[in-house]
Amino acid sequence: MIRVKATREGLLGHPTATGYVVDSIVPFVALPSHEALGKFIRIQNVNNHRKAYAVVLDIGPWNTEDNDYVFHGHRPQAESGTDSTGRKTNGAGIDLSQRVWHELYMTDNSLVEWEFI
């Protein structure tokens, strides 16, 4: 499992990279790789050990092509403090939909562990 900082996807009503319009029902995440779209993950809040399952329906946070992180266990490039275009980041490696956020009982941006299933 990969441990990274998680943030909440805040685009309710907007389309994701797959065209899915964000709502509060479907459990999905965003990872920075086109190749991850449609894959399923198991995710756990490291603070309370709550688990959830989700599908990757969006690309991000911050970067769109960080395959070394997503598929090869490297640290997310966004943890460096800037993204691949030089924008300042918050260091997050995964975005969580509102549904996943609530299933994990998240109250703030914090650490999660995730893996493909």
Write out pLDDT tens, residues 30-76: 999 999 999 999 999 999 999 999 999 999 999 999 999 999 999 99
The CA angle 58-10-67, to the nearest 5 degrees, is 30
DSSP string, 60-107: -SS-SB-HHHHHH-PPPGGGGSB-TTS-B----SEEE-HHHHHHTT--
Rounded to an integer, the average pLDDT of 3-27 is: 91
Task: Specify the residue for token string 């911050």.
Answer: 62
CB-based contacts of 14: which residues, under 8 Å, 6+ apart?
21, 22
Partner residues linked to 55 by β-bridges? 28, 40
Which pLDDT score is estimated for 12?
86
Kindly report the pTM of this predicted structure: 0.94
The total number of structural domains in the chain stands at 1
Rounded CA-CA distance 30/46 in Å is 19
Range of the domain at 16: 2-116
CATH number at residue 45: 2.40.40.10
* Tokens describing residue 45: 């809040």
